[in-house]
Amino acid sequence: MRVNKTKQKLEAGGTAFGFELGLGSALVAEGLARTGIDYLQIDTQHGDWGQDSVIAALMAIEGSDCTPIARVARNDYTLIGRLLDEGMMGIVVPMVHTAEDAKAAADACFYPPKGTRSCGWARIGRTTEDYWSWIDDEVLLMVQIESITAVENAEAILSTPGVAGCWTGPADLAFSMGIHPRDQRQSDEHILALERVLEACKNTGKVPGIAAMNPEDAAARAADGWRFINAGQDAAILMDAAAAGVRTVGLERAVLDRTTSY
Cis peptide before 181 (omega within 30 of 0): no
Residues 148/154, Cβ–Cβ less than 8 Å: no
Half-sphere exposure at residue 199, Cβ-oriented, CA atoms within 13 angstroms: 9
Catalytic residue among 46, 97, 180, 190: 46
Amino acid occupying residue 47: G
| H or E stretch covering 20 | strand 16-21
Tell me the β-bridge partners of 168: 210
Residues 68/58, Cβ–Cβ less than 8 Å: yes
Catalytic residue flag (residue 180): no
Quickly count: other Cβ atoms within 10 Å of residue 246's Cβ: 13
Residues 37/234, Cβ–Cβ less than 8 Å: no
DSSP characters over 206-222: -B-EEE-SSHHHHHHHH
Where would I find the H helices in 110-228? 123-127, 131-138, 148-152, 154-158, 170-176, 188-204, 215-223
Question: Of the candidates 81, 93, 168, which has an alpha carbon nearest to the alpha carbon of residue 125?
Answer: 81
Helix (H, G, I), strand (E, B) or coil at 52: helix
Known catalytic residues?
Answer: 46
